[in-house]
Amino acid sequence: MLADYKEITIYEVEKLQLLFLELLVNAESLEVDMQSIKKIDMVGIQLLLSLVKTAESESKKVSFTNIANNVLSMIKQAHCEKKLGLDV
């Protein structure tokens, strides 16, 4: 799903938000493979938090896999790893 994206930043958020919501409508759970993502900013992290919150409000689950170390580092710097289910 994210293979066409290298970043989750302010420039991609609008398109990705629509994609995530469309995928979430048709699924009980959503696994987001972030293998192609090399960069994330605070707006991108907010998008992921929003996705998790939306899923929870609909009794659905979102998980994130294959996160690059630098992306995970940014998420940890924002203290959002627990909220995203990444507190391994």
Q: Pick the residue with more confidence: 88 or 75?
A: 75
Residue 1's pLDDT is 81
Instruction: Give 40-80 as a DSSP string.
Output: E-HHHHHHHHHHHHHHHHTT-EEEEES--HHHHHHHHHTT-
- pLDDT beyond 90 at 15: yes
Over the stretch 25-69, which tens digit does the pLDDT of each residue have?
Answer: 989 999 999 999 999 999 999 999 999 999 999 999 999 999 999
List of domains in the chain: 7-77 (3.30.750.24)
